[in-house]
Chain A
Amino acid sequence: MGGSDPNPPNRGPSQGLGSGGNCPSRIATTIAGPAAGIAKGEWLDVRVDRTGGHPRVVLVDEVTLATVGSLAGIPDLATLIRCLEQDIPYRAYVDHVDGGRIDVTVIRG
């Protein structure tokens, strides 16, 4: 939903580069996507999309339910997919929007 978070997450390194095991608590990354209607401070749903054959993690606008973009090129993505499929909840906070580039922090809980 819209609105600024009073405690926006720190865009520092994510937890655990590599061997997985535990569900990551925070992943800061950048996605390419249609930024129209997306603003800093908004939250996006984080879901697994299996419609394309290979599972991918997509970020979905909580209001319009439109897919904003997908995660790629980040460590621990396979772990994140497993966690999402175990119904561990994640949301993505929009840190910054610049043209078609959206900085987000994916946060557990």
Chain B
Amino acid sequence: MLIGGGVYAETCVTPARIALFGSGGRAAMVAADLGGVVVLHTFHPEALRDDIEANFNPAGIRVIVHPSPHRLCFEYLHPMARPRITPFPAGRAITVPLEGEQVLRFGCIEGDFRVAAARAVYDPQSGSDPAPFGANGSTAGSLAMILNANELRGMAGTDDLGHAATYVMRDAASTVLVVKDGPAGAYVFEGPGSPRYVPAYPTDSVYKIGSGDVFSATFAHAWMSHRAEAAEAADRASRRTAQYVEAPVFPLPSKLPNRVPRRTDARGRRVLLAVDGGTASRRWVREEAVRGLRDLGATVVPGDGCFPRDRGPVPAAVDRATFDVVLAHADDRRTAAAVLRAALALGKPVVVFADDPAALEAARKLGIPGSADLCSALYQTQWVPL
């Protein structure tokens, strides 16, 4: 398999991690673990070629480095944060031709890959405005595109996933379209008829950075190398991704564990935020939680507004019919138990985010699931049994 994608330094403050993967590097590690010949095309400064080879060659990955001026670093405060990219990408993007039987192409910052393949998988990795596969002259006998729901909506200009999928598949001459919808799972569009639903497999912790790379690499290996049905390939990808987000270290266990999806409803839940906004740090937590939950497709209660009189963690008056689950923030061990009891009194499942181990322990004693990692706590709001 040929893989075209970036190799980037990635740092995360909490949980603390430093890595050199990027989409291309991480996908190559996954594909190499799964077997077969893997050739990675990427961009990197010539002076750091030996660092790339030292990292990937021992895994059996042949790396072809196309020169670029800088090693880019993605800096995250937490796995659902918007990364800061340094140095700021600039300069002329270059296009590299990739010809092969099986090609996995990722969108890239430094340039792009013009693919000519019998079978190709394309993951644009754009966030919201993906370039169509053929826009740079790429062609494939069979093409599978992997988009997240927001990318699909941006590409098609409509919120209706079914209509958007039809439009994008016709426009891209795509055989398969996999639409990832975060904790709700994924949909596989292939030919006429309804899409196949593939569940997400819940995990206690979620390290989101790179999860899409693992999904795409696993799907590509199954669909291109093993000729698995697209829905079967996507299910393997979902299970492998669950392995990765739970323990993001390579090699991943070779055997896919027997996991059970916890929910079958398609769309995001309504989450009541029991997060005090009375200090700058607490306001920051709340705003990150709001943005993260919306990224997961959830509805946040209360909605937009500046909360001028909001000085407490739990809203004084709230209609229980307007939310499904409570996300509580307990950053103070002295008040954690009181905050959590107030959240429990709302009569709905509660998930807690707490930096302080003592606050998490207080939650555990009350039977409340939670995490010291905001990303994991946000995902738990979408997976906790209702």
Residue B65 at the chain A interface, CB threshold 8 Å: no
Contact for B51 among A27, A31, A52, A78, CB less than 8 A = A78
Q: How far is the CA of A54 from the CA of B56 in the complex (A)?
A: 9
Among B16-24, B179-187, B276-284, B372-380, the stretch that binds chain A is B16-24
Residue A94 at the chain B interface, CB threshold 8 Å: no
Residue A42 at the chain B interface, CB threshold 8 Å: no
Produce 1/0 per residue, B1-28, CB < 8 A to A. Answer: 0000000010100001111110001100
Is B20 in contact with A70, judged by CB distance below 8 angstroms?
A: no
- The residue of chain A having its C-beta at the shortest distance from the C-beta of B252 within the complex is A32
Interface size class of A (residues with CB under 8 A): 20 to 34
Q: How far is the CA of A32 from the CA of B29 in the complex (A)?
A: 13
How many B residues touch A, CB cutoff 8 Å? 31
Q: How far is the CA of A20 from the CA of B45 in the complex (A)?
A: 12
Known: A54-B58, A73-B29, A74-B18. A30 touches B249 (CB 8 A): yes
Contacts of B73 in A (CB 8 A): 17-18
Contact for B29 among A19, A29, A72, CB less than 8 A = A72
Interface centre among A28, A31, A72, A101 (most CB of B within 10 A): A72
Interface centre among A29, A70, A75 (most CB of B within 10 A): A75
Interface centre among B29, B50, B58 (most CB of A within 10 A): B58
Is A54 in contact with B57, judged by CB distance below 8 angstroms?
A: yes
Is A32 in contact with B251, judged by CB distance below 8 angstroms?
A: yes
Contact for A18 among B48, B54, B56, B248, CB less than 8 A = B48
Instruction: List CB contacts (< 8 Å) of A1-49 with chain B.
Output: 11-14, 17-20, 27-32
- The residue of chain B having its C-beta at the shortest distance from the C-beta of A27 within the complex is B18
Say whether chain A's binding surface is mostly helix, strand, loop, or mixed: loop
Residue B253 at the chain A interface, CB threshold 8 Å: yes
Is B249 in contact with A101, judged by CB distance below 8 angstroms?
A: yes
Contacts of B26 in A (CB 8 A): 73
Known: A18-B71, A19-B47, A73-B25. A81 touches B54 (CB 8 A): yes
Q: How far is the CA of A98 from the CA of B204 in the complex (A)?
A: 13
Residue B256 at the chain A interface, CB threshold 8 Å: no
Interface centre among A19, A70, A73 (most CB of B within 10 A): A73
Contacts of A14 in B (CB 8 A): 18
Contacts of B250 in A (CB 8 A): 32, 72-73
Contacts of A76 in B (CB 8 A): 51
Residue A67 at the chain B interface, CB threshold 8 Å: no
Q: How far is the CA of A98 from the CA of B48 in the complex (A)?
A: 32
Residue B85 at the chain A interface, CB threshold 8 Å: no
Q: How far is the CA of A27 from the CA of B54 in the complex (A)?
A: 15
Contacts of B21 in A (CB 8 A): 73
Residue A108 at the chain B interface, CB threshold 8 Å: no
Is A13 in contact with B53, judged by CB distance below 8 angstroms?
A: no
A21 to chain B, nearest CB (A): 10
Interface centre among B16, B51, B56, B250 (most CB of A within 10 A): B51
Q: How far is the CA of A17 from the CA of B54 in the complex (A)?
A: 15
Produce 1/0 per residue, B241-268, CB < 8 A to A. Answer: 0000001111111000000000000000
Contacts of A109 in B (CB 8 A): none
Contact for A75 among B18, B50, B248, CB less than 8 A = B18
Contact for B249 among A20, A32, A55, CB less than 8 A = A32
A69 to chain B, nearest CB (A): 9
Contacts of B16 in A (CB 8 A): 11-13, 28
**8 A-B contact pairs sorted by A residue (CB < 8 Å):** A17-B9, A17-B11, A17-B71, A32-B249, A32-B250, A72-B56, A72-B59, A100-B247
Q: Mark A residues whose CB is within 8 Å of B.
A: 11-14, 17-20, 27-32, 52, 54-56, 70, 72-79, 81, 98-101
Q: Contacts A55-B54, A75-B9, A78-B48 given; 11 further ones with Cβ under 8 A? A: A17-B18, A17-B71, A17-B73, A18-B71, A28-B16, A54-B54, A74-B18, A74-B19, A75-B18, A76-B51, A100-B253
